[in-house]
Structures are given as C-alpha cells and as structure tokens.
Amino acid sequence: MATTLAKAADGTETATHAARIEHVSKSFAGPAGRQTVLDDITLDVAPGEFVTLLGASGCGKSTLLNLVAGLDEPSAGAISTDGRPALMFQEHALFPWLTAGKNIELALKLRGVPKAERRGRAEELLELVRLGGAHGKRVHELSGGMRQRVALARALAQESRLLLMDEPFAALDAITRDVLHDELTRIWRETRLSVLFVTHNVREAVRLAQRVVLLSSRPGRIAREWTVDIEHPRRIEDTAVAELSVEITEELRGEIRRHGQH
C-alpha cells in the first residue's frame, strides 16, 4: 500500500496521490464458478480531493472501498495509498459500553497517543464535529445523527490523509442527512483530507463531490466520470446540483437497463 512521492523545489516530499487504483479486478468463488465483481478499475484520488463512487446496488462500490482500505486483496492489479486510510461505515459501529469520548480515545490509544493526551484530543475532535460537551454521553443517549458524528470523529482520530466513507448517511432522515452534508463539507475543507465516498444517491454524490465516478454493474467498471464545477456552499435543491443530478441519473438508468437490473 505504499504511495508515490514527489520532491518539491524546497526538497520536501509530498504524496502525488491519496489513492491510486491501477487495473484492479476482484472475483469471488460462487456456486457457478468464479464471479468477477470488479473488472480493470483504474482511478486516482488526488491529495485533498473529494470523490464519490456511484452505482446501482451490487456494482462493487463497497468491494472497491474495502480493497482500498486493505480489508481485502485484489485478484489483479495494485492499490497504493498515502498512509493507512480511515474507514467509516453506514452503521456507526460504536462500542455501546463506552462513552462518545471513550470511543474516540480508543482509536487514539490504538494509534499510540499517550494516555495523558487522549482526553484533550478527543474533546477537540468532538468540537470539530460540533458535539462539544458530549464526551461523557453513552451511545444510547445519542441520536442517529450524533452517533454518525462520533463515528466521524473516531475516524478523524486516526489522522489518516484518506477518509473512506461507505454510505455513512444512508440510514438517516433527510433533514439530518442534509445537516451532515454541510458538516462533512466543512470538515473536509478545514482538514484538507482526501475523501472517497460511496453512495447510491445521485444528489448526495453531486452535493458533496469534486468528482463523481459512475460504476457499471456485473462486473463493475468505470462507466463515466463528471467533474463537479459548482461552488460551495451547495444545497441539495440548488438548480445546478439538480441539473447535473438529472444527467447522471439518466446515465445510471442506462447502465441499469444494459445490465438487466431492476
């Protein structure tokens, strides 16, 4: 998972990409033999770039994210990242016997942060996701949106340069999701993280990303990409967001028709 470095004029080395996916394929054994889920995927995520992966259910979006995260190995091709990525799932996956702050402190502990520094750093991260004062709250005391904020803070505690997000807002109501879109955009711009975000929601993809990548299905291949030249702040109901969403939706429907999905 090593990354490529470039040397600047002052002699410092910087990563040329946050993630580089080169001719990656993935297949699994099944009752009818091996089935190819991903086929010859090549994709770069630049440092500080926000990219969304979009496609119909079963097209391999989450499989690709797991490969980038290092949770599985590709059947062919290579993946490199700028350090170890942080991963955030649709489910918050918080430990219910720990408080919000202690969930974050556990991530800091695993990263080797000294015990004396963990509490203060956890509180800083809670402030970043606008949950200041929630350090002592148990998971059952938090709303769905608050739990996802804690999960985001825990991911940020890993101090990765690449954040992988697998439909993290899919289970939330529309208003909470809209608020968290704003918060994620703010945090991304403040931290200059690179983000690779999986979704099946076209407007969410356009609202958040600098670039939208559409995967075909059976097997997943890159069907098309769009650069999103819409200024921030964006709203889900903005005319420009809606117009691009219509274009992408038509392309997605075409992919679904071509592959006989419903």
Do 145 and 167 reside in the same domain of the chain?
A: no
The SS3 of residue 62 is: helix
- State which residues form the domain around 111: 94-159
**Cα separation of 259 and 262, whole Å?**
9
Confidence at residue 31, expressed as pLDDT on a 0 to 100 scale: 80
pLDDT tens per residue, range 88-131:
987 778 999 999 999 999 999 999 999 999 999 999 999 999 99
In the chain, alpha helices (H):
61-69, 100-110, 115-128, 144-156, 174-191, 202-208, 239-258
Q: Beta 50-54 vs 211-215: how paired, if at all?
A: parallel
Indicate the residue among 144, 159, 174 that finishes a domain. 159
Q: How far is CA 244 from CA 20, 69, 179, 187, in A?
A: 26, 29, 21, 24
Confidence at residue 42, expressed as pLDDT on a 0 to 100 scale: 97
Confidence at residue 58, expressed as pLDDT on a 0 to 100 scale: 83
How many domains, in total, are found in the chain?
A: 2
The SS3 of residue 232 is: coil
50: closest CA among 197, 154, 180, 153? 197
Q: Say what the alpha-carbon torsion angle 243, 54, 184, 192 is, to the nearest 10 degrees.
A: -100
The SS3 of residue 40 is: strand
**Cα separation of 42 and 98, whole Å?**
40
Do 170 and 260 reside in the same domain of the chain?
A: yes
At 186, give phi and psi (nearest 5°): -60, -45
Encoding tokens for residue 72?
A: 């599985």
What single string gives the DSSP state of each residue in 160-199? -SEEEEESTTTTS-HHHHHHHHHHHHHHHHHHT-EEEEEE
Confidence at residue 29, expressed as pLDDT on a 0 to 100 scale: 85
The answer as to whether 27 is a domain residue is yes
**Cα separation of 234 and 213, whole Å?**
19
Do 70 and 176 reside in the same domain of the chain?
A: yes
Confidence at residue 1, expressed as pLDDT on a 0 to 100 scale: 53
Do 200 and 143 reside in the same domain of the chain?
A: no
Do 150 and 246 reside in the same domain of the chain?
A: no
Which residues of the chain have a pLDDT value below 70?
1-14, 260-262
The answer as to whether 10 is a domain residue is no
The SS3 of residue 70 is: coil
The set of residues, in sequence order, having a beta carbon less than 8 Å from that of 133 and lying 6+ positions away, is 126
Confidence at residue 209, expressed as pLDDT on a 0 to 100 scale: 96
Does residue 233 have a cis bond before it (omega within 30 degrees)? yes
Indicate the residue among 111, 130, 159 that finishes a domain. 159
Tell me the HSE value of 112 on the side-chain side, using a 13 A CA sphere.
1
169: closest CA among 90, 63, 57, 52? 90
Confidence at residue 89, expressed as pLDDT on a 0 to 100 scale: 83
